[in-house]
Amino acid sequence: MQIRIKGKETLLVTEENTALAMGSGTLPVFATPAMAALMEHTAYTSLEPYLEEGQGTVGTLLDIRHTAPTTVGMTVTCETTLVEIDRKRLVFQVTAYDSKGMIGEGVHERFLIDNQKFLSKAEEKLQ
Amino acid, single-letter form, for residue 112: L
Q: What is the pLDDT of residues 3-44, one digit of tens each?
A: 999 999 999 999 999 999 999 999 999 999 999 999 999 999
Q: What is the 8-class DSSP label of residue 56?
A: E
Active-site pick, 66, 79, 108, 109: 66
Active-site pick, 18, 40, 70, 80: 40
Active-site pick, 9, 32, 77, 81: 32
Sheet holding 75-86, edge to edge: 6-12, 75-86, 89-98, 101-114, 55-66
Catalytic (active site) residue 41: no
Q: What is the pLDDT of residues 54-86, one digit of tens each?
A: 999 999 999 999 999 999 999 999 999 999 999
Question: Against a cut of 0.85, is the pTM above it?
Answer: yes
Domains and CATH numbers, the chain: 6-126 (3.10.129.10)
